[in-house]
Structure 1
């Protein structure tokens, strides 16, 4: 899980080793004003890379959950995003 610069702007990106049939991925970011939800979509024909269609809000330091669903199963993986050293807004 990372935030990357793309030609369309900053995006949240998930890179996976294997593609599960009907995998859906959503990032739910804990924000003071309420959750921010970013649905991740495959990038082109690459089913091992999924990106948000919009940029995550600032700041890019947050607690979040990655919600993975496939074949009527769901798993929530908590994670923490931090700004790179020297990158401040």
Structure 2
């Protein structure tokens, strides 16, 4: 991720993985500052979209039953996720 310059949002298990991997602040909720709590809420919202997208791909069983060229898979996955986000919004 760092070499590609892409950022990703991960859970606490990825602390120390590098600057491209963004994790929430560590600690008890009551001891976090208001800014840290706001950051963690925003982080959770972003991660929830990714979790929902993975669940959609799993429930549609797209990747298990896909019988096409591997160069077309990215476009198909993007289309499924766009449809999922459009319907859930």
TM bracket (short chain):
under 0.3
Q: Which structure has the larger Rg? A: 2
TM-score norm. by structure 2 comes to 0.24
If asked which structure has higher relative contact order (CA below 8 Å, sep 6+), I would say 1
Q: Which has the higher helix share?
A: 2
TM-score norm. by structure 1 comes to 0.24
